[in-house]
Amino acid sequence: QLSTRITGLTGGGSDGWDVFLKARRMIAEGTPVTELTIGEHDIRTAAPILRDMHASAMDGHTGYAAVPGTDSLRRTVAARVEERTGVPTTLDNVLITPGGQAALFAAHMAACDPGDTALYIDPYYATYPGTLRGVGAVPQAILTRAEDAFQPRADALKAHAGEARSLLINSPNNPTGVVYSDGTLDMIATICRENDLWLISDEVYETQVWEGRHLSPRALPGMADRTFVVGSMSKSHAMTGSRCGWIVGPEEAIADLITLATHTTYGVPGFIQDAAGFALGQGWDFEAEIAEPFKRRRALATRVLAGQNTVGLVPSQGAMYLMLDIRGTGMTGEAFAYDLLDTHHIAVMPGESFGSSAAGHIRVAMTIEDSAFETALQTLCNHAEM
Ligand code: PLP
């Protein structure tokens, strides 16, 4: 008999990824499908980063690495976060993890005891509820509205904050592409302080902002002591397969999280960490270059969708996704996604896969080359008009 912790991880329901699985089956059977489902770059990790990784491995950095991360990478991440937030940050505030996903799990292990209520914002990144259940917490969704551009509202948060232990946010957001305004983040910080909540801030898309700015809540008054910032090399440097991310938080919490890492992941390979340090050393311009295709495609989508009656573009400012409002078709996101796949072999994610707040929407990943992307969007719009 397996534990309910494992068997109940996805909550027992359908996880809403059936359209994605169908697209994968069609591709395996030889049908060409335009794949706009997954958040993975259409470029690979840059050659200089790979050369550095190779050199590090050849230098012998293939044994156990220090569990908290190498001092060098921890210092680099600390300096990056300090530059972003203005909050003094040292290597003692940093744990290097095998990607952002492992960081999310570990941060909630630190924040929640079994049975505690852990809040997250709906629509949400697909793994969130399972991650919260995995640490034994009870996930509680905070619904948002398309009319508010999916920014959370104070009344919705306050309705659950009193009973909760933590709040998980993600800006720039997957799946909506929305970047939280300074006002939204101030409101969230106030609610966290007033209700003694841990804030877990998933900032894996921090370098993908097309308008406005990314503000880390670690920068806000009284928040550094109650915030875990989750970061990753996956999206900023097209290094999804390298599995390298981090948690930045209060020193005492990081010390305990290092003990957790000793009993779970046992660290991240040294040659990966060396390459991550090298990549981060290339500076913000290098990261802006990696994000550029998404910025370009976002602008392209704005042009294609201008004047469309049936498909609306959710006003978003970042990340590698578009959220499209297809309520005008009278279809659910799921029905539309199936229809588009069957008729035109274009695969998108139904909004319902990311929670009830995104019903009647679809998520489009901007992860194919510009002209194919434009053609797919045009086909999608024509299909919606029918
Ligand atoms: N958080 C969000 C919002 C994501 O979209 C993803 C990946 O798609 C992750 C975390 C996990 O990223 P990784 O574990 O590759 O760092």
Where along the chain do its domains lie?
4-44+285-385, 63-282
C-alpha of residue 204 to centroid of ligand 1, in Å = 6
User: Rounded to whole angstroms, how far apart are CA atoms 21 and 26?
Assistant: 9
Superfamily of structural domain 4-44+285-385:
Aspartate Aminotransferase, domain 1 (3.90.1150.10)
Q: Which atom of ligand 1 is nearest to the CA of 125?
A: 3
C-alpha of residue 96 to centroid of ligand 1, in Å = 15
Other beta carbons less than 10 A from residue 155's beta carbon: 7
In the chain, the amino acid numbered 63 is: G
Specify the DSSP class assigned to residue 214.
-
C-alpha of residue 160 to centroid of ligand 1, in Å = 26
User: Rounded to whole angstroms, how far apart are CA atoms 171 and 284?
Assistant: 18
DSSP assignment of 234-281 equals HHHTT-GGG--EEEE--HHHHHHHHHHHHTTT----HHHHHHHHHHHT
Q: Which two tokens stand for residue 320?
A: 């590698």
User: Rounded to whole angstroms, how far apart are CA atoms 363 and 344?
Assistant: 17
Q: Which atom of ligand 1 is nearest to the CA of 202?
A: 1
User: Rounded to whole angstroms, how far apart are CA atoms 331 and 122?
Assistant: 20
| Pocket perturbation via mutation, ligand 1, pick of 120, 204, 353 by most ligand atoms within 8 A of CB | 204
H or E, element range at 95:
strand 94-97
Q: Which two tokens stand for residue 224?
A: 């550094």
Query: Which residues, judged by CB distance below 6 Å to any ligand atom, belong to the binding site of ligand 1?
Result: 39, 99-101, 125, 170, 174, 202, 204, 232, 234, 240, 245
C-alpha of residue 168 to centroid of ligand 1, in Å = 13
pLDDT at 266: 97
| Pocket perturbation via mutation, ligand 1, pick of 234, 247, 265 by most ligand atoms within 8 A of CB | 234
Q: Which atom of ligand 1 is nearest to the CA of 102?
A: 14
Number of residues written out for the chain: 386
Edge-first strand listing for the sheet containing 138-143 = 94-97, 245-248, 227-232, 198-202, 164-170, 117-122, 138-143
Answer for the pair 250, 257: CB distance below 8 angstroms, yes or no.
no
Question: How many CA within 13 A on the CB side of residue 360?
Answer: 14
H or E, element range at 334:
helix 333-344
Q: Which atom of ligand 1 is nearest to the CA of 244?
A: 16
User: Rounded to whole angstroms, how far apart are CA atoms 365 and 243?
Assistant: 21
C-alpha of residue 164 to centroid of ligand 1, in Å = 24
Q: Measuring CA to CA, how many Å separate 383 from each of 161, 302, 308, 326, 366?
A: 42, 18, 12, 11, 19
Q: Which two tokens stand for residue 306?
A: 């201008």
pLDDT per residue rounded down to tens, the chain (386 residues): 999 889 888 876 555 678 889 999 999 999 999 999 988 888 999 999 999 999 999 999 999 999 999 999 999 999 999 999 999 999 999 999 999 999 999 999 999 999 999 999 999 999 999 999 999 999 999 999 999 999 999 999 999 999 999 999 999 999 999 999 999 999 999 999 999 999 999 999 999 999 889 999 999 999 999 999 999 999 999 999 999 999 999 999 999 999 999 999 999 999 999 999 999 999 999 999 999 999 999 999 999 999 888 999 999 999 999 999 999 999 999 999 999 999 999 999 999 999 999 999 999 999 999 999 999 999 999 999 88
User: Rounded to whole angstroms, how far apart are CA atoms 172 and 318?
Assistant: 6
pLDDT at 5: 86
Question: Going by CA atoms, what residue is nearest to atom 7 of ligand 1?
Answer: 39
| Pocket perturbation via mutation, ligand 1, pick of 45, 97, 101, 173 by most ligand atoms within 8 A of CB | 101
Residue 110 CB partners (closer than 8 Å, separation 6+): 198, 228, 249, 253, 256, 257, 260
User: Rounded to whole angstroms, how far apart are CA atoms 37 and 16?
Assistant: 12
CA dihedral 109, 114, 117, 123 (to 10 degrees): 50
Answer for the pair 180, 169: CB distance below 8 angstroms, yes or no.
yes
pLDDT at 371: 97
pLDDT at 14: 54
C-alpha of residue 309 to centroid of ligand 1, in Å = 33
Q: Measuring CA to CA, how many Å separate 111 from each of 52, 200, 280, 291?
A: 36, 9, 28, 32
Other beta carbons less than 10 A from residue 182's beta carbon: 11
ipTM computed for the complex:
0.99
Q: Which CATH number fits domain 63-282: 2.40.50.100, 3.40.50.300, 3.40.640.10, 3.40.190.10?
A: 3.40.640.10
Q: Which atom of ligand 1 is nearest to the CA of 104?
A: 10
